Every structure is written in structure tokens, then in C-alpha cells.
């Protein structure tokens, strides 16, 4: 998880416990942050990953995605790909906060995201599944925004 570039953890908090890690990103008007996640096929058959359909979450949204099969290698723009049984593909997800002053309404709480919707095709059938993060949660501030992200 980073803000402007890998290693930039400005306004990024992390809490580790026996259940995993919760990373909290501080709201910044029109600010960006990125996360790396591994998409692993634990199923019995290869699947063709078509896309990431869930773009918006009101006060932040998925702006773009990149991918790589080697976490040390350079990422490339996201495109559909076949994920074989037991294989993994690293996704770099780039998010943008809304262009607003987030009004917490006295609450000031955070909202956690623990999964990622994925569009895929298996045996010619199109499906959308919410793929859970393993041992990881992403938290962002909640509140009212007069110019939602998406």
C-alpha cells in the first residue's frame, strides 16, 4: 500500500494482528493511493479474468489497474488473461479519492474493504465473483461527499 509511489506511506496506517493486516489510508481531496494484491486461482479449472467491474465506492474509486506475473517485474496495463489452476497474478490497483471535503458527520469512522469483485469466464460462462483478500483489509474514511468519486 502506498500513496504516490512504492514506499510512500504518507497518511497510511497499518495494524497487524492474528487475523492479518488492516491498512488505513487517510483521506486527501483528489488524492491517490495504490495497493498490490495477488489474484490466485484456487479452483480446479483455468479461468479467463476479464476485468474488475466495481469502479466506485462513493468517496473513492478504482482509477486503473496494472498487472504482472512477477512481483519484482514491471507492471503492465490490465488486460484480460487466463489464470491457470494454482497460478497467481499480481494486480496493482490505483485508487483516487473524490474531489470534495469529506464531511464525517460527527462519526469520523472508517469503512473496510475486504474483497475485490472480479469478472471472469470459465467453460464459456460469464461470472462475477467477489474475491476475498486473505489476511488483509483496506480501510478508508467514511462520510458525506458533495462530489462522489464515481
Average pLDDT, the chain: 87
Nearest to 50 by CA among 78, 90, 74: 78
Nearest to 6 by CA among 98, 75, 55: 75
User: Which domains are seen in the chain, by residue range?
Assistant: 12-141 (2.60.40)
pLDDT above 90 coverage of the chain, percent: 42
Distance CA(12)–CA(55), nearest Å, equals: 22
Q: What pLDDT does residue 147 have?
A: 73
Q: What is the pLDDT of residues 11-33, one digit of tens each?
A: 899 999 888 888 999 888 888 99
Which residue is it, cell 466495481?
A: 54
Amino acid at each position: 500500500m502506498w500513496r504516490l509511489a512504492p514506499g510512500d506511506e504518507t497518511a497510511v496506517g497499518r495494524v497487524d494482528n492474528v487475523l492479518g493486516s488492516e491498512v488505513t489510508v487517510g483521506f486527501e481531496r483528489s488524492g491517490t493511493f495504490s495497493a498490490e494484491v495477488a489474484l490466485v486461482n484456487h479452483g480446479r479449472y483455468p479461468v479467463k479474468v476479464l476485468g474488475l467491474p466495481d469502479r466506485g465506492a462513493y468517496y473513492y474509486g478504482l482509477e486503473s489497474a496494472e498487472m504482472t506475473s512477477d512481483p519484482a517485474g514491471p507492471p503492465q496495463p490490465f488486460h484480460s488473461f487466463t489464470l491457470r489452476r494454482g497460478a497467481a497474478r499480481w494486480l496493482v490497483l490505483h485508487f483516487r479519492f473524490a474531489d470534495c471535503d469529506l464531511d464525517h458527520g460527527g462519526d469520523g469512522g472508517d469503512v473496510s474493504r475486504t474483497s475485490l469483485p472480479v469478472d471472469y469466464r470459465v467453460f464459456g460462462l460469464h461470472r462475477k465473483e467477489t474475491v476475498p483478500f486473505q489476511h488483509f483489509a483496506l480501510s478508508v474514511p467514511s462520510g458525506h461527499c458533495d462530489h462522489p468519486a464515481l
